[in-house]
């Protein structure tokens, strides 16, 4: 495809994927774990743009750029090659510019969110829309979290990540994300789990009328990976305890396989809590935004 045939799509926000609850319900013969999770996508994320280039490549900026490789194994470039193959078009001569604002390997799906943002950009830039089921297959081939990140809407995620059901709108509230700057290996967390066959989440209500209703529901759920992560990385425990000490935080928990943790607060209170945590732990990454 010639460069002149390409559109110039608007920047894409690759939103962090937060597991408000994460139940590990089994393991398939191929090693993939079965999940039941309630996920949300606050307006906190990386920013991805693309522009015409001489070949397919990736440029990195932002506070976490140095932690990410721009080589051909990067998931954004894999997304472009896989999309082109599925669409039956040549590999595009595009430069992706990624502003990496989210910590890497931190339990909030930042790589998957970047890949999903690349798929959205590619459809517009190349003027090629894949059928929904074909696009979903491309997304899943890139990683279990990519399909839900492609939609970037609150959802119940099942199977290995491919079974998606819309979740009720989130109540008016703030979410606070905190990462201690320590990486945790997801395979190591899975290996350290005491049980991989746990009960599913309880039925999700039709509505979350308020933060208190959401918190009441979440108190009957878990993150089944949190215990193993805390044993491997005591910093996770420290983050959760720091969040719980703030009287603005209604509930605190780890997201994904860690080490990023979240706290939920009444609307307008998240920034205050974030400021306090930054003052006592200046080396931690802290971000806040409305939950919905």
Query: Is 106 annotated among the ligand-binding residues?
Result: yes
Using the structure block, give the residue that is written with the tokens 């926000």: 13
Set 17, 36, 114, 269: catalytic member: 17
Using the structure block, give the residue that is written with the tokens 């819309």: 166
> Which pair of structure tokens corresponds to residue 98?
């990624």
Query: Is 112 annotated among the ligand-binding residues?
Result: yes
Query: Is 104 annotated among the ligand-binding residues?
Result: yes
Query: Is 159 annotated among the ligand-binding residues?
Result: no
30 is catalytic: no
Query: Is 111 annotated among the ligand-binding residues?
Result: yes
Q: Other C-beta atoms within 10 Å of 227: how many?
A: 17
> 103, 121, 100, 115: which is closest to 52 by C-alpha?
121
Size of the chain in residues: 292
Query: Is 109 annotated among the ligand-binding residues?
Result: yes
By the 8 A CB rule, do 168 and 154 touch? yes
46 is catalytic: no
By the 8 A CB rule, do 109 and 149 touch? yes
Query: Is 255 annotated among the ligand-binding residues?
Result: no
Set 36, 46, 114, 145: catalytic member: 145
> Which pair of structure tokens corresponds to residue 22?
């994460």
> 209, 14, 40, 196: which is closest to 116 by C-alpha?
14
> 32, 125, 141, 130: which is closest to 79 by C-alpha?
141
Q: How many separate helices (H) and strands (E) can be counted in the chain?
A: 9, 12
Binding-site annotation, residues for ATP = 103-113
Active site residues: 17, 145
């Amino acid at each position: 495809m010639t460069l002149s045939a390409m559109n110039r799509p608007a920047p894409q926000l690759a939103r962090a994927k937060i597991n408000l609850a994460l139940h590990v319900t089994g393991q398939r013969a191929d090693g993939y774990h079965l999940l039941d999770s309630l996920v949300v996508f606050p307006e906190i994320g990386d920013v991805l743009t693309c522009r015409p280039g001489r070949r397919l490549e990736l440029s990195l900026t932002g506070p976490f750029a140095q932690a990410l490789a721009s080589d051909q194994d990067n998931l954004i470039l894999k997304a472009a090659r896989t999309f082109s193959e599925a669409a039956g078009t040549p590999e595009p001569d595009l430069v992706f510019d990624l502003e990496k604002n989210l910590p890497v390997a931190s339990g909030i799906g930042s790589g998957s969110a970047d890949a999903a943002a690349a798929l959205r950009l590619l459809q517009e830039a190349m003027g090629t829309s894949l059928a929904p089921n074909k696009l979903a297959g491309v997304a899943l081939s890139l990683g279990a979290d990519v399909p839900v990140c492609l939609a970037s809407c609150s959802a119940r995620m099942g199977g290995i990540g491919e079974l998606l059901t819309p979740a009720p709108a989130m109540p008016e509230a703030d979410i606070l994300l905190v990462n201690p700057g320590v990486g945790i290996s997801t395979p190591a967390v899975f290996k350290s789990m005491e049980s991989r066959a746990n009960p599913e989440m309880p039925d999700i209500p039709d509505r979350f009328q308020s933060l208190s209703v959401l918190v009441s529901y979440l108190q009957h759920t878990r993150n089944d990976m949190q215990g193993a992560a805390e044993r491997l990385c005591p910093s996770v425990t420290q983050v959760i305890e720091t969040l719980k000490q703030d009287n603005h935080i209604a509930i605190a928990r780890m997201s994904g396989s860690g080490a990023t943790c979240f706290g939920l607060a009444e609307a307008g209170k998240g920034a205050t809590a974030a400021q306090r945590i930054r003052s006592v732990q200046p080396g931690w990454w802290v971000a806040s935004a409305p939950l919905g």
